[in-house]
A = this chain, B = another copy of it.
């Protein structure tokens, strides 16, 4: 970690690194980015997975079933207090299906996911992932006449 960077820049870099590791399918890098203890992950539509074994296995499964994936992060908000950082962001995802029989690329699929990522700074100054929770955005009607940013008729808790 460069000493010239602010905490927020360092957290943003750690957050970006998490997605880049998934894009590259780099399990070694991903493993390094997560804390050792007390971690949890929720992938969109999945139950909670806890502990390094379950967390890393879930990423291995996703990578094994993903031929191509790219994340365009927007709305990145970082809140740092002491050695903990909370990041919320929107993942604009472009992913590719399996290649066609003739060897050409498979169809591309877009997706919209929102994520809450929690990081902790380790004693050596590195920001590591404590928790990742991603969920599909199912309801978004910002153009509603009533001015609401969500569909009031379809709320769930």
Contacts and interface: CB of A to CB of B under 8 A. Distances in A.
Given A133-B133, A135-B42, A47 B157 contact: no
Interface stretch (A9-17, A78-86, A100-108): A78-86
A140 interface: yes
Nearest to A69: B157
B48 A113 contact: no
Given A79-B38, A131-B88, A43 B136 contact: no
A138 interface: yes
A124 interface: no
A91 interface: yes
A89 to B, nearest CB: 8
A45 B137 contact: yes
Interface residues of A, number: 61
Contact of A152 (B22, B61, B93): B61
A116 to B, nearest CB: 4
A38 B81 contact: yes
Interface in A44-63: 44-50, 54, 58, 61-62
Given A42-B116, A66-B157, A157-B22, A135 B137 contact: no
Given A77-B50, A116-B48, A116-B131, A43 B82 contact: no
Contact of A43 (B43, B49, B131, B155): B155
The 8 lowest CB-CB distance pairs between A and B, nearest first, are: A135-B135, A38-B79, A45-B138, A116-B133, A84-B84, A133-B133, A48-B88, A40-B88
